[in-house]
Amino acid sequence: MALRMPWPLLGRSKLESSRAALPEVIGKADAPLMAVVVGLVAFGVVMVYSASFVYARHIFDAPAHFLLRQAAFATLGVLLLLGLARVDYHLYRPLTYPLLGLAALLLMVVVFGLGHSAGGASRWISVGPVHVQPAEVAKLAIIFWMAYSLSKKQDRIRSFSVGFLPHVLMSGFLMLLCLKQPDFGSAVMIGLLTFVLLFTAGARLGYILGAVLMAAPLAWLLIATSPYRMRRIQAFLQPFQHRLDSGYQIAESLMTFGAGGVTGVGLGDSRQKLLFLPEAHTDFISAIIGEELGLVGVTCVVLAFGFIVWRGLRAAFRSVDDYGTYLAVGITIFVGAQAFTNLAVAMGMLPTKGLVLPFISYGGSSLLVNCAAVGVLLNVSRPRRRLPDDEQETDREPGRAKTGQARDGAGRRPGARANRRRSASPGGEV
Amino acid sequence: MRMRMALLGALIFVGAGLVMRRAYELSVERAPALREMAEEQYQRSMRLAPKRGTIRDRNGAPLAVSVDVDSVYANPRRMRREGVDPARAMRLLSSVLDLDAERIQHRLESDKLFVWISRRVTPRVAARVRELEIPGVEMVREGRRYYPNRELLSHVLGFANIDGVGIEGLELEYEQQLSGSSERVPVIRDARGHVIFSERALDGRSTRGADLELTIDRTVQRIAERELSLGARTFEARAGSVIVMDPRSGEILAIANFPSFNANEPGDVPAAVRRDRAVTDRFEPGSTIKPFTVASALAAGSIRPEQHFDCEHGAMAVAEYTIHDDKPFDVLTPAQILAFSSNIGAAKIGGTLGREGLYRGLRRFGFGRRTQVGLPGETGGILRDYRRWYEMDAATIAFGQGMSVNALQLATAMGALANGGQLMRPTLVRRLIDGNGETLREFRPRVRRQVVPRATARLVADMLTGVTGPGGTAEEAALDGYLVAGKTGTAQKADYAHGGYDADAWVASFVGFVPAENPRLVISVVIDEPAIAHYGGKVAGPIFRRIAQATLRHLGVPPRGVASRSRRPRRAPANAATATPEATTAPTLAVAAELPPPAPGEVRVPELRDLPARAALVQLRGSHLTGRFEGTGRVVHQDPAAGDVVPEGTRVDLSLAMPRAALGPADESARLASVELTP
């Protein structure tokens, strides 16, 4: 103890108080979930190499170019995941606004210059050798902010001005920045996360539906006014009729799945990766999985993500407070939506969006962000002892808790209400 | 809230289910169709381009070879990626390559992945392009057909196009064998068209094309082309062909055509120049047909060698036309008819055969059908069925008007007279040899048929020596030291525009063999539309002589003067040394040294006893003497006697008699009808 004295001395009281306010951890994180995610990351490294070595040799004259990078990021990602799984998620609450601000700042930097342009869109910021993708950060930021904000507002969530509008405005702002890049996929993902969390927290269905109905024509306008998005829609609808231009990628992707059949052509033996299928190691890696490992491989991938979604929602259900629940839901939807959207795009069920397959596709930003998200999710999944009502209320914000109680009148189970109140108290922040 | 979360979870699992359903659809239900489309784009059956076989002459000298050279191409998309300015790249390339700048620059500005810039460049140019180091400009090895002898035999060899496919000549005729196994090998390629993988080794060694070994002798070919070109230019001819053949085997030693072209640059000349006229062009042969008419009549027994024909003083009416001779003759034997080339005499001899007999006789010599030498576009000439002859034809065909032949047919037919009556199938390709040096196919000499009896062939051959003798139509075809048999032809060309014959357009020809007593060469010379002169003897004769002379020397055929005949005492004529360059060999000189040399303008009379008539004639001519022959057989008496010194041009009277033992068919002795050969 004596040795640790000098540093904790200053902040000891604060640290002690906040730690004391946290629900006590009484179990381990969700080990099967962790195993599946780490397994997917490892599988991703293998698949990235298999899908990219021909392309890498063609472009860089170094077949292992992507393999080495992906392996490095995978190691970093797994370390990040394991590390964050040990950090109590409540500690992020003070970081909510700094993170949101950082995301917005980065997005603006990208949008208004300085961005590293690739593929006709500026989505990256170069920090030394690393390309940071602000949109990925923005997605995490919106999850944290929504979880924080929704758990704080509690039952006022059903109101339009307090519960609904601020969230829609904030995410709308980030979405606009994403669209400006242009990065339609990230904008949609931010929108999706916002509405899913609003929906989960109990926002009025009418508002959500209304907003969606209002957004639909806007989205259509965005698509219709952008030639490249229009072409993507066309390509999506009739890939084989536009096979030589806009539909090329989709058509190649479908052919790649078909070539694999049930059992696939064998790991490493893909022929479509011989420069036929563009983005084989990033957005369309699932097609290469389909070709090399067949329907069996694709099924395993779908099952793995299904498992992640199940365990993620399970963690959300079991969370001792609303903040944990929303975080878990947000992260689960974030990972699951990316995965299934990516698969659906590769299979020609949705128009091309530029979404990666989490943990598997090549890309450092995406891998780190997803690993970080799952790390947080793993921490949420740790069983915790619920704090007794009095302790929490007296210790922290008695006044607010009362207000929340007073507003509650929707005829819910008292236990549930109490639970929500308890977990909603933002420790150490006024 | 739990309800909503459960709903959310359910939604996601519905999505997962939809994805699985779609995966099943793609991987199972639609898999066969999709897989086929995918395979279509990466599976290519690549046509293996094995090294094309080499064409060699009979001694192994290469005539057409394939070498690997560099071809320059560009990847415009890569150039753009590397930030190369097409205009600048173009300027750099233009400094090294000969290019159509505008077109290539247009190509470089395209969005393609592959454009040719220049194919099959020389190693020096390739090195310079490499030095430019323009990103996106690369090279690939391609086989290039190369004809090291340029013009030599180009008409016969033909040429291969830029993709190495035979277009004309032997390259076309033997395309399959030369190109090797053209089997297609399945390969996997990438989207840039590069072959990534193949189940089979692609080294191409096992599938090398077969080599062609020709019967052509490159030296003889060179001689023939040189002399033909020289002669054709001298007489300002439109075109010409020469065939040199070995009458014993039917092997073609040379096929020359004029004008010639460089097979490496076939595009530089019009197609007419590239034509192998010797086999593709037919012409009315004129008098060169007469020997075959005579031989047919002799074989059929419709005339006798000593029979006399009234030649009507140079004009004979047939139907509504009149047949003319160049000079009026009274009465001629068949030998004289050939020597002086009397049309009227030939017509009368043909007449003794009747239409059918003449037609069948000429057909037996191979006229009117292809020789099947194995060259594309060969013509068979035209010899219409006798039932469709006009009244005039029966007379004119006997002397070669009203029918057409090609130069190869003439040579082949003359070969039959030279070798004792056997019509050989002409061969141009001797062997096909595979990549491992094993003979795939051998073309041996083949006798088509015995056209006329051996004795008849010899008799006509004897008669034909008169053609090159004094007073004959082809004195200029005569060689020092060798006896030449042959026949001239001076045919008017048909005027297709106006009908009838063109008064100014001629085909001058000479077909002969040498040495007459033991023929080694048959040479046919055909000169189309010579402008300076038009008589076959005058135009084609000298070309024949020069080719024969050089070729005999090349083949090492000893001239008559030094021929060692065991039966004959070695008393070689001393003055043969001064008369023939070939005679300057050691044995002759040794003999000559014993005798005092004759004074200028004088010659020593050679020993002629025991010689057959034609051999004696050669000896006399070699000594610049003339001869007068009496009787048939071998020389039994000569006046002046051997060893006497007489002025040049003196006439030597010779008496010939048939030795009793020498009447067998194998005997080389002549049975020449008594012909007076005086200047």
Residue span of the structural domain in which A277 resides: 28-383
pLDDT at B184: 58
pLDDT band at B598 (very low <50, low <70, confident <90, very high): low
pLDDT band at B47 (very low <50, low <70, confident <90, very high): low
Quote the CA–CA distance of B631 and B670 in Å, as a whole number.
Answer: 11
DSSP state of B608: -
A295-304, A332-341, A360-369, B82-91: least confidently modelled range: B82-91
Residue B419 has pLDDT above 70, yes or no: yes
Kindly report the number of other CB atoms within 10 A of residue A95's CB atom: 13
**What is the distance in angstroms between the Cα of B188 and the nearest Cα belonging to chain A?**
8
Q: Which of B179, B287, B296, B341 is an active site residue?
A: B287
pLDDT at A380: 94
CA dist list (Å): B551 to A88, B233, B278, B464, B479: 107, 21, 19, 21, 12
Residue A400 has pLDDT above 50, yes or no: no
pLDDT band at A356 (very low <50, low <70, confident <90, very high): confident
Q: For A366-391, what is the mean pLDDT?
A: 85
Extract the tokens encoding B232. Answer: 């054709």
Q: How far is CA A62 from the centre of its chain?
A: 32
pLDDT band at A428 (very low <50, low <70, confident <90, very high): very low
The percent of residues above 70 in pLDDT, for chain B, comes to: 85
pLDDT tens-digit map of A210-255: 888 888 888 888 778 877 777 777 777 777 777 767 778 888 888 8
Residue A373 has pLDDT above 90, yes or no: yes
Tell me if A181 sits within 8 A of A111, measured CB to CB: yes
**What is the distance in angstroms between the Cα of A112 and the nearest Cα belonging to chain B?**
25
Q: Is residue A9 part of a domain?
A: no
**What is the distance in angstroms between the Cα of B185 and the nearest Cα belonging to chain A?**
18
Q: Which residue of B has its CA nearest to A298?
A: B23
pLDDT tens-digit map of B428-479: 999 888 877 788 888 888 899 999 999 999 999 988 888 888 877 888 888 8
Quote the CA–CA distance of A201 and B236 in Å, as a whole number.
Answer: 107
Mark which residues 300-329 of A lie under 8 Å from B by CB. 302, 305-306, 309-310, 313, 316-317, 325, 329
A272 to chain B, any CB pair closer than 8 A? The answer is yes
pLDDT tens-digit map of B510-546: 999 988 888 999 999 999 888 888 788 888 889 999 9
> Which among A54, A255, A337 has CB closest to B190?
A54
Kindly report the number of other CB atoms within 10 A of residue B150's CB atom: 14
pLDDT at B194: 65
Contacts for A368-371: CB closer than 8 Å, 24+ residues apart: A368/A73, A368/A76, A368/A77, A368/A80, A369/A136, A369/A137, A369/A139, A369/A140, A370/A77, A370/A334, A370/A335, A370/A338, A371/A37, A371/A41, A371/A77, A371/A78, A371/A80, A371/A81
Extract the tokens encoding A76. Answer: 């970093």
Tell me if B266 sits within 8 A of B315, measured CB to CB: no
* Cβ separation A196–B8 shorter than 8 A: yes
> Which among B5, B37, B39 has CB closest to A313?
B5
Helix (H) or strand (E) holding B295: helix B290-300
A275 to chain B, any CB pair closer than 8 A? The answer is yes
pLDDT at B659: 56
pLDDT band at B225 (very low <50, low <70, confident <90, very high): very high
A101-115, A175-189, A352-366: least confidently modelled range: A101-115
Residue B379 has pLDDT above 60, yes or no: yes
Residue A389 has pLDDT above 90, yes or no: no
pLDDT band at B673 (very low <50, low <70, confident <90, very high): very low
Residue A304 has pLDDT above 70, yes or no: yes
pLDDT at A97: 92
Helix (H) or strand (E) holding B315: strand B315-318
Quote the CA–CA distance of B336 and B325 in Å, as a whole number.
Answer: 13
pLDDT tens-digit map of B130-172: 888 888 888 877 777 888 888 898 888 888 887 778 888 888 8
Extract the tokens encoding B438. Answer: 């094993």
pLDDT tens-digit map of B202-224: 544 456 788 889 999 999 999 99
Kindly report the number of other CB atoms within 10 A of residue B410's CB atom: 32
pLDDT at B665: 39
Q: For A148-168, what is the mean pLDDT?
A: 84
pLDDT band at A124 (very low <50, low <70, confident <90, very high): low
Tell me if B563 sits within 8 A of B573, measured CB to CB: no
Residue B73 has pLDDT above 80, yes or no: yes
pLDDT at B664: 38
List of chain A residues whose C-beta atoms are within 8 Å of the C-beta of residue B188: 271, 274
pLDDT at A279: 80
Quote the CA–CA distance of A386 and A40 in Å, as a whole number.
Answer: 33
Closest CA relative to residue B362, chosen from B394, B334, B407, B319:
B394
**B138 CB contacts (<8 Å, ≥6 apart)?**
B72, B73, B74, B75
Tell me if B126 sits within 8 A of B78, measured CB to CB: no
> A201 or A352, which is more confident?
A201
Residue B101 has pLDDT above 80, yes or no: no
A38-52, A112-126, B268-282: least confidently modelled range: A112-126
pLDDT band at B244 (very low <50, low <70, confident <90, very high): very high
Q: Which residue of A has its CA nearest to B196?
A: A274
Q: For A100-115, what is the mean pLDDT?
A: 81
Tell me if B604 sits within 8 A of B643, measured CB to CB: yes
> A419 or A165, which is more confident?
A165
> What mean pLDDT, rounded, does chain B reach?
80
Residue whose structure tokens are 């002046």: B640
> Which among B31, B39, B188 has CB closest to A261?
B31
pLDDT tens-digit map of B9-22: 999 999 999 999 99
DSSP state of B497: T
Contacts for B126-132: CB closer than 8 Å, 24+ residues apart: B126/B69, B126/B70, B126/B72, B128/B96, B129/B70, B129/B72, B129/B93, B129/B96, B129/B97, B132/B92, B132/B93, B132/B96
Q: For A132-154, what is the mean pLDDT?
A: 88
pLDDT band at A36 (very low <50, low <70, confident <90, very high): very high
Residue B81 has pLDDT above 80, yes or no: no
Q: Is residue A411 part of a domain?
A: no
pLDDT at A14: 43
* Cβ separation B8–A310 shorter than 8 A: no
Residue A388 has pLDDT above 70, yes or no: no
Q: Known catalytic residue: B182?
A: no
Q: Is residue A388 part of a domain?
A: no
pLDDT band at B600 (very low <50, low <70, confident <90, very high): low
Q: Which residue of B has its CA nearest to A413?
A: B1
Q: Is residue A289 part of a domain?
A: yes
Q: Structurally, how many domains does chain A consist of?
A: 1
pLDDT at B196: 60
List of chain A residues whose C-beta atoms are within 8 Å of the C-beta of residue B192: 58, 275
DSSP state of A426: -
Residue B597 has pLDDT above 80, yes or no: no
Q: Kindly give the pairing relationship between strand B331-332 and strand B211-214.
A: unpaired
A200 to chain B, any CB pair closer than 8 A? The answer is yes
Q: Is residue A423 part of a domain?
A: no
The percent of residues above 90 in pLDDT, for chain A, comes to: 37
Q: Is residue A165 part of a domain?
A: yes
Quote the CA–CA distance of B453 and B475 in Å, as a whole number.
Answer: 28
Q: Kindly give the pairing relationship between strand B251-258 and strand B239-246.
A: antiparallel
Residue A6 has pLDDT above 60, yes or no: no
Q: For B640-662, what is the mean pLDDT?
A: 71
**What is the distance in angstroms between the Cα of B282 and the nearest Cα belonging to chain A?**
56
> Which among B8, B34, B192 has CB closest to A257?
B34
Residue A66 has pLDDT above 60, yes or no: yes
pLDDT tens-digit map of B274-327: 888 888 888 888 889 999 999 999 999 888 888 888 888 888 888 778 888 888
- The chain B residues in contact with chain A (CB within 8 A) are 1-2, 4-5, 8-9, 12-13, 15-16, 18-20, 22-24, 26-28, 30-35, 37-39, 41-42, 188-192, 196
* Cβ separation A262–B27 shorter than 8 A: yes
Residue A257 has pLDDT above 60, yes or no: yes
- Residue B26 amino acid letter: L
Q: Which residue of A has its CA nearest to B2?
A: A317
pLDDT tens-digit map of B554-594: 988 888 754 333 333 333 333 333 333 333 333 333 333 34
> What mean pLDDT, rounded, does chain A reach?
80
pLDDT tens-digit map of B111-137: 777 778 888 788 888 888 888 888 888
> Which among B2, B27, B196 has CB closest to A260?
B27
List of chain A residues whose C-beta atoms are within 8 Å of the C-beta of residue B19: 302, 340, 343-344, 347, 349
> B372 or B189, which is more confident?
B372
pLDDT at B363: 92
Residue A427 has pLDDT above 70, yes or no: no
